Amino acid sequence: MISAGIDIGSITAKCVILQGDKILAYSILRVKPNLEESAREIFEKTLELAGLSKEEVDSIVATGYGRGRVDFANKKITEISCHAIGSHFLIPDVGTVIDIGGQDSKVIAVENGKVLDFVMNDKCAAGTGRFIEVMANALGLKIEQIGELALRATERLKISSTCTVFAESEVVSYLSAGKKVEEIIAGVCDAIAGRLIAMASRVGIRREVVLTGGVAKNLGVRRAIEEKIGFGVKVPPEPQIVGALGAAVLGSG
Amino acid sequence: MRELMASYYMQGHQAECNAWITSGAPVELLYAMDIYPIYPENHGALIGATKLGSYYSDFSERNGFSRDLCSYARCDIGCVFAGTSPIGGLPKPTFLFACNNICNTVVKWYEVLSRIFKVPLFILDTPFIRKELKESHLRYVEEQLYDFIKFAERITGRELEDQKLKEVIARSVEGVGLYAHCLQSARNKPSPMNCFDAFVNMAPIVCLRGTDHAIQFYVGLKKELDDRIKQGISAVDNEEIRLLWDNIPVWYRLRWLGEFFENRNACLVADTYTNAWTGFGELKGNDILSSMAEVYTLSYLNIGMDRTAEIINHLIELYDVDGVVMHSNRSCKPYSFGQYEIQKKLSVPSVIIEADMVDERVFSEAQVVTRLEAFLEML
């Protein structure tokens, strides 16, 4: 049984091809305005990496905001269920999934891979990957540099977490006041973590806490979250593909 | 239904004297004095359903009213500025009657109307009942009811007759009883109706409560629902999941939401909103004003969060639902406040979607779809 999971998010498209409990291949691409095209492209690219043809794939499950636009999928499941299943597949004793995606973030209470409860941010980019992108841009940094820079900070500046646009102007004013870039960045990571933990408290934080989504790779955010909850979190080797992996697991029966 | 409400609005234009009234105010007093009640909130719902919310709201916003205000208020005041509405505007009021048992926005909203139309305003102030209803609360409200009667008598030159009030109360109680029976037909499995049917059919109990029109309407609806149960006709073809809706409907998305749930074999069998009017059935024929003070003070949005959660849990049990869909309504703060706390007190899982009852600019489809689909997957 070979199954594929395709996760069309707001910023990136992800695809995982799975055989039994073995990941044959995965890939991540930036989405294009044409979601159908993005879905086909990511699927073909992953097939190529796995050395497979379309016909060899028994089931295709789509997830993410663009799931409805993956016309060749057999099934469409929300990213909530997929993140729960994908996290459980990688880390069986997961109790809470914190997924920080490009356009939204969500906290899912999980038990044996089943969703018990969930909460998502609404109509606001603060607390999402986009928030970090905007701040990185304001500071003239690459997104990959953010995490490590944050760890170097000895002090953390306070950034409002209520609005991305206003937070950006705060960052700019800190810069003009001559504050250190790493201290500003540490403040940015702290702001996101604060918002996420407030959300997570609504569904309750239970061990193990697994971080997924692109922002999970950011060491600054990860550290800020760990400080706030008081214990270590687990991050899968490739946290960005957990939703697509969950979709592939669902497709494998 | 359409004819009944069209004639309701038409008669408003012909009435010798009319009062604009809030949805939770004791309309029985108006009917007993032949004062025609006009409901700006019902008008707001109608504007939402015709998807013209942002259009009329714009007229208010351009005059300095914030987009954070209630969209019923923005649209109602907007229609006054526009000089029209989907039904050609409401007739100019003789006076205004606002009761703050639903929110405190109505106080400011009606003050604005009073300034625009230069007509008198009566505010019936019902204290918020956080825990127990006290004798002093009742006395305070009852005295105001006497004041209101004097106020209305002075303006209209008419006298309130006891006998007439008794008759109106009797019709009101009968109408509410029939209405409650209709809603409770949804206890049947599968349910012959869903909350979208309830929303569409609630206008008579709001606007015509205390008249024969409401009674006749719900007699007809009751018969239709009883027949549907007998014939095994259900609102949703394959009812697998039964749900409860909380808050005012998303008027401009009724059909969309209806189809969304139907396509997923889920039926929103009941809701807290239309059920709120069943409480008015407690009015007593003796000592009318004291009973009126009690019933209208204890309205659904004028009580503490613990009591609200109790009522929702009662509805969960009554209608035997599997989950609750809560609409966090940008417009209605008293209804939406505390939903995250109430969630924790409920006996079944729930999900919150963010939207607005009338302002379609607040609705973001992809986000709502993901939350609702994930909730149904979870159930």
Domains located in chain A, CATH noted: 1-91+238-253 (3.30.420.40), 94-235 (3.30.420.40)
Average pLDDT of chain B is 96
Cβ distance B367 to A123 less than 8 Å, yes or no, reads yes
Q: What does the pLDDT look like over A219-241, one tens digit per residue?
A: 999 999 999 999 999 999 999 99
Taking contacts as CB-CB distances below 8 angstroms, the residues of chain A near B371 are: 120
Q: How far is B362 from chain A (nearest CA, A)?
A: 9
| Average pLDDT value for residue range B152-158 | 96
Q: Percent of chain B, pLDDT > 90? A: 98
> In this predicted structure, what is the pLDDT of residue A160?
78
Q: Distance between CA atoms of A182 and A155, rounded to whole angstroms?
A: 9
Q: What does the pLDDT look like over B18-59, one tens digit per residue?
A: 999 999 999 999 999 999 999 999 999 999 999 999 999 999
Q: What does the pLDDT look like over A18-39, one tens digit per residue?
A: 999 999 999 999 999 999 999 9
pLDDT higher than threshold 80 for residue A112: yes
Q: Distance between CA atoms of B8 and A203, rounded to whole angstroms?
A: 47
pLDDT higher than threshold 90 for residue A123: no
| Tokens 């060749």 sit on residue | A72
3-state secondary structure of B118: coil
In chain B, the residue whose alpha carbon lies closest to the alpha carbon of A120 is B371
> In this predicted structure, what is the pLDDT of residue A2?
97
> In this predicted structure, what is the pLDDT of residue A163?
82
Residue A128 — pLDDT band, cuts 50, 70, 90? confident
Using omega within 30 degrees of 0 as the cis cutoff, is the peptide bond preceding B28 cis? Answer: no
Is residue A47 within 8 Å of residue A57, measured between CB atoms? yes
| Average pLDDT value for residue range B248-268 | 97
> In this predicted structure, what is the pLDDT of residue A126?
72
Cβ distance A78 to B370 less than 8 Å, yes or no, reads yes
CATH number of the B2-160 domain: 3.40.50.11890
Taking contacts as CB-CB distances below 8 angstroms, the residues of chain B near A77 are: 377
pTM equals 0.91
Residue A129 — pLDDT band, cuts 50, 70, 90? confident
| Average pLDDT value for residue range B111-133 | 97
Count of CB atoms within 10 A of residue B179's CB? 28
Q: How far is B110 from chain A (nearest CA, A)?
A: 31
Helix, strand, coil share (%) of chain B residues, nearest 5: 60, 10, 30
Beta strands A96-100; B121-124: pairing state: unpaired
Cβ distance B367 to A120 less than 8 Å, yes or no, reads yes
B 313-352 residues with CB below 8 A of A?
340, 349
In chain A, the residue whose alpha carbon lies closest to the alpha carbon of B339 is A202
Residue A161 — pLDDT band, cuts 50, 70, 90? low
Q: Token pair for residue B272?
A: 């807290």
Phi, psi of B35 (to 5 degrees): -100, 125
Cβ distance A115 to B367 less than 8 Å, yes or no, reads no
In chain A, the residue whose alpha carbon lies closest to the alpha carbon of B364 is A123
Single-letter code of the amino acid located at B258: G
Residue A101 — pLDDT band, cuts 50, 70, 90? confident
Q: Which residue of B264, B359, B370 is the best one to mutate when testing the A interface, meaning the one whose CB has the most A CBs within 10 A?
A: B370
Q: What is the dihedral of CA B251, B253, B255, B260, to 10 degrees?
A: -140
Cβ distance B349 to A117 less than 8 Å, yes or no, reads yes
Burial of A230 (0-12, 13-18, 19+ CB in 10 A): exposed
> In this predicted structure, what is the pLDDT of residue A122?
73
Q: What does the pLDDT look like over A62-92, one tens digit per residue?
A: 999 999 999 999 999 999 999 999 999 999 9
Cβ distance A81 to B378 less than 8 Å, yes or no, reads yes
